[in-house]
Amino acid sequence: MGSNVSSTSCERKEAKARATPRAYRRCNAHRWTDTPPAESEVATDSCNFKNSNEDQSNMTIEIIRPNTNRVISFHSCSSWREYFQASKHSDKLIVIFFSASWCGFCRYMEPIVDDLATEYTDIEFHKNDIDKLFEISREFQVTVMPTFIFIKRGKEVDKVIGTNHQEIRTKIEKHRASLIH
């Protein structure tokens, strides 16, 4: 990005776009030539920044990346239980993200969880809405959202409550390492 852009947020998003495989960038202040894929195939992030060469008018940058959502959502207790029973025979680490549509902190964590799921392809990520799967959240004793439960062979091995994504990453690395070695 140009040196006249005064927002570290946009610079981080552009750096993220460059680091993301097959990422496309588009900006109405800078005319990048990358051609984005069809809109149905992408997820976008955007932010506003001020460009000192453009009379401090707001500009928008969009980072367009392939829609690689790997987070699985369950919509019924029976489908979750069926899946969970089958997962007890697998060595795969499972991260369950308990959230609610009305929870602002949960909405904040959604893109972070999506990024983690894209980064850690050997781990299964699940999103369970407590309003739809209340019985399941009660079984896991979820009382605060967001809550992240880490499961191996059908047993809870760790838990993170809140939005500390670095702690989530640390626990993923910890439990993932025991699977790799």
Q: Residue 69 contacts by C-beta under 8 Å, 6 or more apart in sequence?
A: 43, 114, 117
Other beta carbons less than 10 A from residue 31's beta carbon? 7
SS3 string of 10-28? Answer: HHHHHHHHHHCCCCEEEEC
Active-site residue list: 103, 106
Helix intervals (H) in 27-164 = 77-87, 104-119, 134-139
Q: 17: closest CA among 50, 58, 63? A: 63
CA atoms lying within 13 Å on the CB side of residue 132:
16
Q: 83: closest CA among 100, 64, 96, 102? A: 96
Report the chain's terminal Cα–Cα distance, integer Å.
41
